[in-house]
Amino acid sequence: MIEQIQENLKQEGVSPLDSRVADMTFAFNNREMLKLLKQRYEYLCHAKFDKAEAIESKLTYMKNE
């Protein structure tokens, strides 16, 4: 990925020596999965294993999707 950024800068006339990547941030669209993980945690804490397993099935489906 860094190589691609440097190549793009080079095409714009900026030398890789004249530029540095200071920070990179990645974001994921996983809000629903995080909510399910929290819900599964709460079910496990209260020994509601059947409900936790249903959440686990949903998580597996989302992961495989």
Output 63 or 27, whichever has higher pLDDT. Answer: 63
Element (H, E) at 60: helix 49-64
What's the pTM? 0.56
| pLDDT number for residue 26 | 78
**Every domain of the chain and the residues it spans:** 2-64
Residues 5-56 have pLDDT tens digits of: 777 778 888 776 777 767 777 778 889 999 999 999 999 999 999 999 999 9
| pLDDT number for residue 46 | 96
Residue 1 scores a pLDDT above 90: no
| pLDDT number for residue 16 | 66
Strands (E), 1-65: none
Question: For residues 5 and 26, what is the distance between their CA atoms, to the nearest angstrom?
Answer: 15
